[in-house]
Amino acid sequence: MCRGLQITMVLLGLLGCSPRQGTMARHVQTLKEELFSQINRDRARYGLPPLRWDEKAAEVAEEHCREMLEAGYFSHWDLSGRKPYQRYALAGGTEYNAENLGFAFYRPSGPGDHINVRKAAFESYRGMLAERPPEDGHRRTILNPHHTHVGIGIAFSADRVYISQLFLSRYVKFDPPPPKRARPDERIPLSGEILKEGYSLQGVLVFYEPLPKPRSPEELESFPKWYGLPDRKLELKPLLPPDKRYQDGSRGEVKVEGKRFGFSLSFPEGPGVYTVVAFLKDPEGGSFPATEVCIEVR
C-alpha cells in the first residue's frame, strides 16, 4: 500500500536580489491559481476529470511549506514526526490524500522576484510531470483518475521556494466526524456515506503504526524521499447474511446499507496511530482507497 511518493528538487540559476514579502503575496496567490489551472489542463490532456480546489488541503500544505522554510529542511515528515495523511487528519480531513513536494533555489532580482519564483515553481512541476516509470510517483499522483480535489501551498525566502500539492479523493462523508484521539480501551463507532452514484464499498483496512515523535531538521533530511502507509494492518469485510461465511469462517464486521456503512473500531495494538482506509469499487469495477481517517490512541 506504499504510494512511493518521491520528492523532487530543482536547482535553478536565475537572475539576482531579495524578495519583498508584502508585495509578493498577491503574486504567490496568482501562482497557486496558475499551478491549479495547469494541473487541470494536464489532466484534460489525458482524458481525466478536472479537480476542484480545496482550501483545507491548501492550508495544510501551506503550513508544511512554512515549517520547512523556517526550520531549514525538506521532507514529507514534519517536525512532530507526522506524515502528510496524519497532518491532514489532524486538521479534520478524512479523505485519502497524496502529497507532492517541490523545492527550488532561485536568484532573486528585486521588483521582478515574482517572475523568478514562478519560473522555479513551474520548473519543479514540469519535472514531476516528465517522470518515467518506475520513478514516476509525482506524475501518477497528478494524473490519478480517482483524485477529486487539490490544495496548493507555497512558501519562499530570499533564494528558495517550497511547494506542496495535496491531492484528495472525496467520495465518503463520515457522520458524525471521527475523533482525532482515543484511549486504548475505547471502541469507536464509525459511520460513513458514499457520496457518488455507481460506487460501492469493497472493504476497510485499518493500519497501525507507533505514535509520531518529534524530529530534528537533521533527522528529517535523512528520512526516505517517499512515504506510505505502514505494513501492519487489519482487514474489515462487509457483513454477510447469517447463513453465509467468508473463507476464514467470519461473517464480516462492516454493516452496509445502500450507500451507508458502519462498524466499531477497537485498538488491539494499544497506543499508536490507527488509519482507517475504506476501499471503494468504481463503476468500471476498479478498486481504490477513498479515506484516511487517523486516530491517535494514547
What are the tens digits of pLDDT across the range 17-29? 344 555 667 888 9
Q: What does the pLDDT read at residue 120?
A: 87
Q: What does the pLDDT read at residue 26?
A: 83
* Cα–Cα distance for residue pair 245/250, rounded to 1 Å: 5
9 confidence band (pLDDT: 50, 70, 90) = very low
Whether the domain at 7-169 and the domain at 172-297 fall into the same CATH topology: no
- State residue 217 phi and psi, 5-degree precision: -55, -35
Q: What's the rounded mean pLDDT across residues 150-165?
A: 93
Domain 172-297 classified CATH 3.40.50.1100?
no
CATH class label, 7-169: alpha beta
What are the tens digits of pLDDT across the range 227-256? 999 999 999 999 999 999 999 999 999 999
Q: What does the pLDDT read at residue 17?
A: 32
Q: What does the pLDDT read at residue 106?
A: 77
Q: What does the pLDDT read at residue 16?
A: 30
Rg of the chain taking only CA atoms, in angstroms: 21
pTM here is: 0.91
Q: What does the pLDDT read at residue 10?
A: 39
Q: What's the rounded mean pLDDT across residues 194-204?
A: 97
What are the tens digits of pLDDT across the range 102-146? 998 876 665 455 668 888 889 999 999 999 999 999 999 999 999
What are the tens digits of pLDDT across the range 270-282? 999 999 999 999 9
What are the tens digits of pLDDT across the range 66-115? 999 999 999 999 999 999 999 999 999 999 999 999 998 876 665 455 66
pLDDT above 70: residue 265 = yes
pLDDT above 90 coverage of the chain, percent: 83
Q: What's the rounded mean pLDDT across residues 165-188?
A: 98
Listed by start position, the domains of the chain span 7-169, 172-297
pLDDT above 90: residue 266 = yes
Q: What does the pLDDT read at residue 108?
A: 64
For residue 295, give Cα distances in angstroms to 139, 144, 227, 241.
29, 26, 18, 30
pLDDT above 90: residue 49 = yes
For 15: left if phi > 0, alpha if psi spans -120 to 50, otherwise beta; the answer is beta
